[in-house]
Structure 1
Amino acid sequence: MTIHHETDVLVIGSGIAGMRGALTAARAGARVCIVSLGTGGSPDIMGFSAPVLPGDSADLVLADINASGQGVNNPALARVFAQGTEEIVPDLDIMGVPLKKDVTGRCIPLQALGTSYPRLVHHYRCMTGVEILKKLRRQLSDQDVQSIRGVMIFDLLLDQGAVCGALGIDVDSGELQVFKCRAVLLTTGGSGRIHAFSTYPADITGDGMAMAYRAGLDLVDMEFLQFEPCGFVTPDAIRGSLVPTTLLKAGAELRNANQEQFVTDFSSIQKDELSRRIHREIQEGRGTPAGGVWYDVTMLPESLVKENHAIFYEPALRGGIDISKEPAQMAPSAHTFLGGVVAQPDCATAVTGLFAAGEILGGVHGANRIGGDGGASALVFGKVVGSTLASQYADLPIATDTRVLDLAREGSDFLDAARARQNGESPGPLREALRELMQAQVGIIRTESGLAQAARKLEELEAAATQCSISQAREAGQLCSLWNMLLTARMMIGSASLRTESRGAHFREDFPDRAEDWQGVNVIVRKQDQDMQFAKRQSA
């Protein structure tokens, strides 16, 4: 065994938050390596929240996020977020990102659900995430930042309470990759693909949350998974992909199989409520032939659909449907994870040298998230963590090669055992079984019996995972992914079981109302010896 890569700062995830943090650290003199399995969710960001209109402000952004979060936001993180949104547009102007503006140079924002002002600033064709990533890649190249694709980081290495490296798998060859570093930045996103029907790409399955838990970090709000109200149920080529709710604010219609508009007022409805309304139409027998509802944008100006929302229109067209000419069949699709790692406002965690930013950062949004705040969070906390890394990386400890390799051997023993095991089960089907389980029992509507059933089935899947074998190269990465998915699923199920109320994106059919004794209370997941513990904690 050998150390394959040595760096000062290891960034896990190649989205906007990770790249922005990496860039600032590199400009401060750090050696930086970015490792990613796939594209992540950043290319699909259509825009970001920023107070750009007269009368709007960071204080109003904070008021909106607190109202949306329904009393369980982390106040310090929410404040950093709101203040940071004022800096996004000037920063992107310097970067050269072409935002949609009027002749006076003022941004023309869209209005997302749940906001007091239009503040969804975007690229003129809504290719905002793609354009930001292009600019960041060029700047990272200028700083000689190393980028490694196709490697899944599945665990962290810790020495005396400090991070000192990580373990990865080349998903094509199945070969182990050992990384040595002073600092690790987790920007692995959420866990949307732990569900069978999701807006997210296949690599977003909660790996960072599982790694953080094993490293001894607390996690928060793991019961809150936001479903995007409108994801394509057909054609198959784009199944799960979303069409944003901004078009509903512009005059698009939702209709059931009886051609009834079951929601007509989108002025104050939040995404969580809209998702449940759609879900009920389908469950009560008023769904379309493919199991959705009709989302009709044909009455809107073609330029609004084809140009301003090109990031959604063009993939749909390639997938087989022209939404400017015919209604689409839509259903709620697993989207943004609202919980995650507990960290300080500067993105530092309780483990020396370990930082977190972007969607994996828990507590920013609370029980629900406003459209555009995901993109803004990546930009704001990517900037914050970059400054933190720049000021701290040089003073962090670095372990010896011998110690890193000893830890790597211990952390990869399960792979050696699986390779030696004959005729075991393949990990691939177990991952799919877990996705179907989470979709069925830990979805939009939850019950005590359903969550208990999910917990029992999860134990069966965990037992089966211990008997998996690796007979093909790609099964090594699948097995690493399976174990992380199982761990993240256990945190979600336990947190959802403990919160005996309905709030935001977490809806319990057996406890359909908000409970006063849960106001301002978070669920914390903590590793105690080898046990996973769940506890209530007053919001920080």
Structure 2
Amino acid sequence: MRTLDTDILVLGSGGAGLFGVLHALEADPDLHVTIAVKGLLGKSGCTRMVQGGYNVVLSPGDSIERHFMDTIEGGKWLNVQELAWKLVSEAPIRIRELENKYGCFFDRNPDGSVHQKAFAGQTFDRTVHKGDLTGIEIVSRLAEQVWAKSAVRLEEHRALALIPARDGAGLAGVLMVNMRDGAYVLVRAKATLLATGGGPTMYRYHTPSGDKSCDGMAMALRAGLSLRDMEMVQFHPTGLLAGPGTRMTGTVLEEGLRGAGGYLLDGDGKRFMFDYDERGERATRDVVSRAVDDVIRAGRASPLGGVFIEMKHLGSENVRRQFKGMVERCADCGFDLAAGRVEVVPTAHYMMGGVEFAGDCSTALPGLFVAGEDTGGVHGANRLGGNGVANSTVFGGIAGRAMAAFVRRAGRLCDEDAHAVAAAIANAEQPFGRPAGQVEEVRERLYQVMWDEVGIIRDRSRLMAAQGSLHELSAHIDAMGVGGDRAFNLTWHDWLNLKNLILVSQSIAVAALAREDSRGAHYRADHPTASDLMTSTYTQVRMENDELRVAAQAVDFTHVRPGESLLQAAE
């Protein structure tokens, strides 16, 4: 095992990780910063896949208070309000930084001002974008900046475990495996940023890339940290339905289509969203996803089992100009988004839940910071489209500055707990030397369990069945072997992915069973209404003696209480 020492270690190269590196080095250029990524820097992570845009208050007709209230009401009052306020108040700073400092160029109005489009669930059109390829623009520019810095890059290095200090005084570092040669690497750091992203790829239809396997959340659970709001998995209502046998199925067709005036039609060509919500297609993602699911279950599905999205009434040339990336993606699959109809289905998109953290991105484990989709609390029960990339960049920047301050104030390299290192290596080595099994069969079974039993609509009986099935899958994967050596062994990494996905799936199921009401993305058919907002609680999941425990904690209304509005106070 090789050992490396660094001042700051950043896990992940999406918006949160890249901003963490840049802001740490801006706070103290003399810091030794290392960034580790499971794939390739600039080519990995969910931020790169963002189509829609970035919610930010720029217009004189908008306000921070209005964006805050949209975020809290969209989150069904489960948000950590201090975190939501940081999100909306720092987003204008971050968007100007992206353009003026890092070279991002967003779409403009004829007068030269930044164009902001409509996104569902918001009372003002505040979504900044670069066509429908916003994430590529942001990550490309940020990656260029990181490449130009002195940061050490560990590409194709997979994080396996958070390693505590031998004296129990916090985090010593992270055990990794170099995917290229299979060698283990221990990176000791004075401060570490967990920014690996979430990615609910345990569902049959999902939008994140296949390398996303909730590694950060799984490592946090095993390290004794608590996760909150894990039942809150967001389903995007319009995932491309390209038919069986293609990974394109589930790819998101972004919310701007509905924001611009796109129609959702059932299999008979009837527009249906106003039967479910007065906002029609511009209702929040949870509402639209349940409506689509209801139409499908009622036998009114399109030929491939979804519904249609139609844009041609907006003018085909206009659609091709506004949504170039999606028009081309649909054309690659044989669909004409601009002048025809495209079949779509709800698809698992984002996890509102994650590691509990403070406003400076610190966690209960000294030396560990967290930002982006690895975190819980910012979005509550439902993330507004456009708030995700804002979350990553805002809190990535906060984390970078906070880590630099932590290193100056209290940072030290700690000797690692050798027993924890040995246990983590033994867990990773577990499948070698055993008869090889079929990893793909486990993946397909996981897809089925999570989609059918822990999906868009839930109830006690299905959730209880899911817990039994997930326990069996966990035992099955533990008993399964893989062949070959350790160098670029993709089957081994599939096995490691599934270990993490099954654990996080179990945390989703146990939290969903514990929450006996319906809030945002979590809908219980046997408890279809929300409980009293004034006595709102959030779920907290942690691992004790290898068992998941769930508790209910009261929501603290620090800025505004249900029935009140910051908008009234601002006026």
Aligned ranges for residues 189-338 of structure 1 at < 5 Å?
189-235=197-243, 236=246, 238-264=248-274, 265-266=279-280, 269-338=283-352
CA distance in 1, matches of 2:338, 2:366: 52
CA distance in 1, matches of 2:377, 2:61: 27
- Structure 1 residues 488 and 293: alpha-carbon distance in aligned structure 2, compared to 1, 3 A threshold: same
Please, which runs of 5 or more residues in structure 1 have no aligned partner? none
CA deviation after TM superposition for structure 1 residue 200, in Å: 0.9
* Mapped contact 1:8–1:183 kept (Cα < 8 A): yes
Residue in 2 that maps onto 1:151: 157
Residue in 2 that maps onto 1:13: 12
Deviation string, structure 1 residues 149-184 (Cα, Å, up to 9, x no partner): 322212111111411121223445444333222222
CA deviation after TM superposition for structure 1 residue 128, in Å: 1.7
Residue in 1 that maps onto 2:517: 501
CA deviation after TM superposition for structure 1 residue 424, in Å: 4.5
Counterpart pick for 1:89 among 95, 102, 116: 95
Aligned ranges for residues 359-374 of structure 1 at < 5 Å?
359-374=373-388
CA deviation after TM superposition for structure 1 residue 45, in Å: 1.6
Matched position secondary structure for 1:90: helix
Residue in 1 that maps onto 2:38: 37
CA distance in 1, matches of 2:33, 2:444: 35
- Superposed CA RMSD: 1.9
Counterpart pick for 1:513 among 529, 545, 549: 529
- Structure 1 residues 399 and 426: alpha-carbon distance in aligned structure 2, compared to 1, 3 A threshold: farther
Give the counterpart letter for 2:162 in structure 1: L
CA distance in 2, matches of 1:506, 1:475: 33
CA deviation after TM superposition for structure 1 residue 287, in Å: 0.3
Deviation string, structure 1 residues 310-333 (Cα, Å, up to 9, x no partner): 332222223332311221000100
Residue in 2 that maps onto 1:471: 483
CA distance in 2, matches of 1:126, 1:393: 39
CA distance in 1, matches of 2:38, 2:440: 17
CA distance in 1, matches of 2:295, 2:430: 48
CA distance in 2, matches of 1:175, 1:298: 54
CA distance in 2, matches of 1:21, 1:79: 20
Matched position secondary structure for 2:84: helix
CA distance in 1, matches of 2:515, 2:459: 11
Give the counterpart letter for 1:219 in structure 2: L
CA deviation after TM superposition for structure 1 residue 518, in Å: 8.2
* Mapped contact 2:76–2:381 kept (Cα < 8 A): yes
- Structure 1 residues 453 and 8: alpha-carbon distance in aligned structure 2, compared to 1, 3 A threshold: same
Deviation string, structure 1 residues 116-157 (Cα, Å, up to 9, x no partner): 11000112x232211111211121122122223322212111
Aligned ranges for residues 331-410 of structure 1 at < 5 Å?
331-394=345-408, 395-400=410-415, 403=416, 407-410=420-423
CA distance in 1, matches of 2:272, 2:516: 29
Counterpart pick for 2:126 among 95, 119, 123: 119
CA distance in 1, matches of 2:68, 2:338: 35
- Structure 1 residues 506 and 11: alpha-carbon distance in aligned structure 2, compared to 1, 3 A threshold: same
Q: Following TM superposition, where does structure 1 have runs of at least 4 consecutive aligned residues deviating by more than 4 angstroms? A: none
CA distance in 1, matches of 2:483, 2:181: 12
TM-score by length of 2: 0.90
Give the counterpart letter for 1:150 in structure 2: E
- Structure 1 residues 90 and 71: alpha-carbon distance in aligned structure 2, compared to 1, 3 A threshold: same
More divergent stretch after superposition (275-284 vs 93-102)? 93-102
- Structure 1 residues 510 and 306: alpha-carbon distance in aligned structure 2, compared to 1, 3 A threshold: same
CA distance in 1, matches of 2:252, 2:216: 24
Q: Percent identity?
A: 29
CA deviation after TM superposition for structure 1 residue 296, in Å: 0.7
CA distance in 1, matches of 2:134, 2:533: 41
Give the counterpart letter for 1:335 in structure 2: H
Structure 1 position 483 matched with structure 2 position 490: no
Structure 1 position 107 matched with structure 2 position 126: no
Residue in 1 that maps onto 2:460: 448
Structure 1 position 411 matched with structure 2 position 427: no
More divergent stretch after superposition (385-394 vs 469-478)? 469-478
- Structure 1 residues 70 and 415: alpha-carbon distance in aligned structure 2, compared to 1, 3 A threshold: closer
Matched position secondary structure for 1:525: strand
Structure 1 position 436 matched with structure 2 position 448: yes
Give the counterpart letter for 2:59 in structure 1: L
- Structure 1 residues 301 and 375: alpha-carbon distance in aligned structure 2, compared to 1, 3 A threshold: farther
* Mapped contact 1:50–1:120 kept (Cα < 8 A): yes
CA deviation after TM superposition for structure 1 residue 303, in Å: 4.6
Aligned residues: 535
More divergent stretch after superposition (60-69 vs 378-387)? 378-387
* Mapped contact 1:16–1:42 kept (Cα < 8 A): yes
* Mapped contact 1:71–1:519 kept (Cα < 8 A): no
CA deviation after TM superposition for structure 1 residue 527, in Å: 2.7
CA distance in 1, matches of 2:441, 2:413: 39
Deviation string, structure 1 residues 200-240 (Cα, Å, up to 9, x no partner): 11122211111111112111000000100100111535211
Give the counterpart letter for 1:479 in structure 2: W
* Mapped contact 2:381–2:521 kept (Cα < 8 A): yes
Give the counterpart letter for 2:196 in structure 1: T
Give the counterpart letter for 2:283 in structure 1: I
* Mapped contact 1:174–1:475 kept (Cα < 8 A): no
- Structure 1 residues 149 and 521: alpha-carbon distance in aligned structure 2, compared to 1, 3 A threshold: same
CA deviation after TM superposition for structure 1 residue 526, in Å: 2.1
More divergent stretch after superposition (329-338 vs 249-258)? 249-258
CA deviation after TM superposition for structure 1 residue 519, in Å: 4.4
TM-score by length of 1: 0.95
